[in-house]
Amino acid sequence: MALPAVRLDVVVALAFAAVAPAPRDTVVLKGGKRIENVVVSRQDDQFVVVNPWNSRFAGMSFEIPEKNRIPREKVEQVIVSDPPLVEFRRAASRPKLVAADHLALAKRCAELGLKDEQLREARRCLALDPQCAEALPLAGGRTAWEQFAKGNPDVDPKLRELERAYVAAATPEERAAKLKEMKELGSTRPLCWLERARRSAAFQKGRREKVRLTMRSAEAPGATYCIFVPKSYDPLEPCGLVVGLHGGGPGGFDSTIVTGSGEEAMPFYSDVAEECGLIVVCPTALAPGWSASKNEPLVDAVVDEMLALYNVDENRIYLTGHSMGGGGTWYWGPHRPELWAAFAPCAGWGGPVTKGLPVYIYHGSDDAVVPPGDDRAAARVLVADKKKPDFVYTEVDQIGHGFPDWVRHDLFQFFLGRWKERGRKHAVEPDSSFLRKPSKEEIRCFGDPAASAAGSENESRLADLVARLEKGGGGGEEAAKELAGSRDAATVKAVARVLHSKKPSGDARALAARTLGELALPECVKPLAAAAEDDDFRVVDAVTEALGRTRSKEAVEPLSRAARRMGALFDGSIRGGQMIFTEYQVRLESFGLLCAAYAALGDAGAALPLIESELVARVFTPKSPYRIETDERFDEIPGAARLKLVKRLRAALETLADPRGRALLQSIRAAWPAEAALARECDAGLSKLGGA
């Protein structure tokens, strides 16, 4: 993959190995005058525009002086060229480069005077094609190359082959044999690196949603993230990582409910991440506002989990976010300057502190949701800084609060050209997170990657599983699955203690309730009943679902208490005659679980009065009407939430097979005549229950 040609004859005083990238475009005027070290954002038949904000967006109009709009007839030539180091890094960051690509890069670096980068690319070429004669002189000659390659698994083809065999090995004995061969060839690779790579290879590529946070889950209870792993990811090769912070805000009067999620943010990033070969992780905030104290341990823990589970190049970790996520990026960028190689706040607020980090800022000029004032002010400070910070400010007209494709792709290109600078010498090689010393938290959550290849399978004791359950998160979820297979009284008592304790988080107690539901033993009803009116609605939901799973007559009474608790929570979500959509959706999901639980217990006499008083009378036939407040940034449709609940209610009524259920469906149909899909669902249920 060859770099774009650079006209060296018109660039003055190029500092090829400079760490801080600087503008490199040149405008040659008729008559010979040159305007150098600038950024050109527009060149057409009318004008050549020199953009003072370092943006290449042709349509940008924000505070561009008239003198920067040069009539085309006055211009002889425009030479567009980014700094050599930026262009090299972009090209070198691309996924799945072959030997010919590395050779082309090595030759180009030789032309530009990037000696360290030349050596790196020549060596990578030889690692893929040991017979490439053109690469040898660029790598310092055969002797230097052979000395460098001996025992170095990054470039020794035989060692790379053995590492792949180790990762693919099915048994501890096979892994031990491959490890022995590697040691005999002088490999310097530590065991923890190989074991982490083997663990990482087992994770699916593409998108995974609502992944429970495992590391430090007790500090961020209930935390989840959405992750995208590109097809090009290879656990034997360090890969760049982007942390994306979602937009949104408060999801209701319950401060634990947040509008927006990692799943809703991921579509902004996954397509361009696939093109660029980057992993993206989008955590879901635990409280509105990314600077909220509840989110403080979340971002740190998510990054640590990525570094443990994936081969992340610690020189290429980036941060971005849109809207509330843009505000969070302005907070978390300077808040963790030692972590990021660059950050990109989009349509957010904050700044202008950057702690010396490269920053890409984007905003819509007509953004009515988050006006561009803060980002404009930050850009003005940066452009006036005599230290010439590495920044871009792109402002787009007539886009509102949107996030256009051009900007998404441009900011990723900005990221690819920036690697983490540590000290005075700039980064040349990747810094694999798999080389980190295993932390106590990683060992607790995922096992010790530095242990022997044979490993240990002796971690199934009840006390250990319960301890993991108490911490919640992904580790607690795995423990819950194993505990659910131990159908004995001791397990029930141990899990019940977690459910009733005040020390574990709501996330852990909800997992305990679900575990009791999975056990589905008669003795599970009593401990579940004690938590039917818990303060945390997530625990009440889990208890409700679990009581249904027991299919016990004794579960009817505590389920009635859970139903009344859900009704009270619904009432508390209405303030001033309105309810925020996210909280409305959450409460209707709870009622859906209630319907399913009553259907499982099969007691129509107990179920129908509670369904009518707690669910139908509140959601569908309220005495005092209320309004559902929606956010136009998200796909928030109250009718869709109601339809989903009616489907679950209809299924429950048909299972209970009591003709009295017809009255409930009739009242719902009469109250919502304008919602055709809901009416059809009610009609189908009425037909099943013996009515026309």
Q: Which long-range contacts (CB under 8 A, 24 or more apart) does 165-173 make?
A: 166/194, 166/198, 167/194, 167/197, 167/198, 167/201, 167/235, 167/236, 168/201, 169/198, 172/453, 172/454, 172/455, 173/454
Per-residue confidence (pLDDT) for residue 690, from 0 to 100 = 79
Describe the crossing of helices 191-201 and 172-184 by its angle, rounded to 10 degrees.
140
The residue assigned the tokens 């904050």 is 350
- C-alpha closest to that of 442 among 244, 542, 301: 301
Which of 167, 85, 151 lies closest to 120 in space, CA to CA?
Answer: 85
Q: What is the pLDDT of residues 205-260, one digit of tens each?
A: 999 999 999 999 999 999 999 999 999 999 999 999 999 999 999 999 998 999 99
Amino acid (one-letter) located at 691: G
pLDDT (tens digit per residue) in 306-342: 999 999 999 999 999 999 999 999 999 999 999 999 9
Does the pLDDT of residue 376 top 80, yes or no?
yes
Provide the pairing of β-strand 279-283 with 224-229.
antiparallel
d(CA 88, CA 106): 10
Q: Which of 276, 243, 554 is nearest to 546 (CA)?
A: 554
pLDDT attached to residue 666:
96
3-state helix, strand, coil in the chain (%, to 5): 50, 15, 40
| Confidence band of 424 (pLDDT split at 50, 70, 90) | low
- Residues 52-61 have a mean pLDDT of 95
DSSP string computed for 429-475: S--BGGGSPPPHHHHHHH--TTS-TT-------HHHHHHHHHH-HHH
Q: Are 117 and 108 in contact (CB under 8 A)?
A: no
pLDDT range class, residue 4, cuts 50, 70, 90: very low
Q: Which residue has the tokens 């979340």?
A: 298
Instruction: State the pTM of this model.
Output: 0.89
Question: Which residues in 1-14 are b (16+ Cβ under 10 Å) and which e?
Answer: eebeebeeeebeeb
Whether residue 653 is predicted with pLDDT greater than 90 in this model: the reply is yes
Confidence of residue 22 (pLDDT cuts 50, 70, 90): low
- Residues 218-234 as b or e (16 or more Cβ within 10 Å = b): bbbbbbbbbbbbbebbb
Q: Which tokens belong to 288?
A: 């509105």
The token pair that represents 299 in the structure block = 């971002």
Mean pLDDT, the chain, rounded, equals 92
Q: How confident is the model at residue 11 (pLDDT cuts 50, 70, 90)?
A: very low
Looking at the DSSP assignment, which residues form a beta bridge with residue 365? none
Residue 9: the pLDDT is 29
The pLDDT tens digits of the residues spanning 429-480 come to 999 999 999 999 999 899 899 885 444 443 357 888 999 899 899 999 999 9
Alpha helices (runs of H) in 551-615, residue ranges in sequence order = 556-572, 581-601, 604-610
Query: What is the distance between the terminal CA atoms of the chain, rounded to a whole angstrom?
Result: 70
20-34, 166-180, 550-564, 572-586: least confidently modelled range: 20-34
Q: Is the dihedral of CA 528, 529, 531, 537 positive or negative?
A: positive
Taking the C-alpha atoms of residue 450 and residue 263, their distance in angstroms, rounded to an integer, is 34
What CA–CA distance (Å, rounded) separates 557 from 545?
Answer: 14
Residue 18 pLDDT level (bands cut at 50, 70, 90):
very low
Residue 133 has pLDDT above 60, yes or no: yes
Percent of all residues in the chain with a pLDDT value above 90, rounded to a whole number: 87
Question: Per-residue DSSP letters for 352-393?
Answer: S--TT--EEEEEETT-SSS-THHHHHHHHHHHH-TT---EEE
CB contact burial 634-666 (16+ within 10 A = b; e otherwise): eebebeebbbebbbbbbbbbebbeeeebbebbe
Question: Has residue 633 got a pLDDT over 90?
Answer: no
Four-residue CA torsion sign, 57, 58, 62, 64: positive
Model confidence pLDDT, tens digit, residues 397-411 = 999 999 999 999 999
* Burial (CB count <10 Å: 0-12, 13-18, 19+), residue 280: buried
pLDDT for residue 285 is more than 80: yes
Question: For position 632, what pLDDT does the model report?
Answer: 85
The tokens for 72 are 């085309």
Q: Give the tens place of pLDDT for each residue, 563-609.
A: 999 999 999 999 999 999 999 999 999 999 999 999 999 999 999 99
The per-residue pLDDT for 652 is 97
* Distance (Å) of CA 173 to CA 2, 179, 283: 44, 10, 38
Residue 3 pLDDT:
34
- The set of residues, in sequence order, having a beta carbon less than 8 Å from that of 345 and lying 6+ positions away, is 320, 321, 326, 327, 329, 330, 333, 351, 359, 361, 362, 375
- How many Cβ atoms are within 10 Å of 383's Cβ, its own excluded? 15
Angle at 101 between CA 97 and CA 103, to 5 degrees: 130
d(C-alpha 257, C-alpha 245), whole Å? 16
Average pLDDT over residues 92-121: 95
The whole-number pLDDT of residue 1 equals 32
Residue 505 in this model has a pLDDT that exceeds 60 = yes
Nearest Cα to 93, choosing from 404, 342, 406? 342
How does residue 181 score in pLDDT terms, banded at 50, 70 and 90?
very high
Give residue 309's pLDDT: 97
DSSP codes joined into one string, 24-41: -EEEEETTS-EEEEE-EE
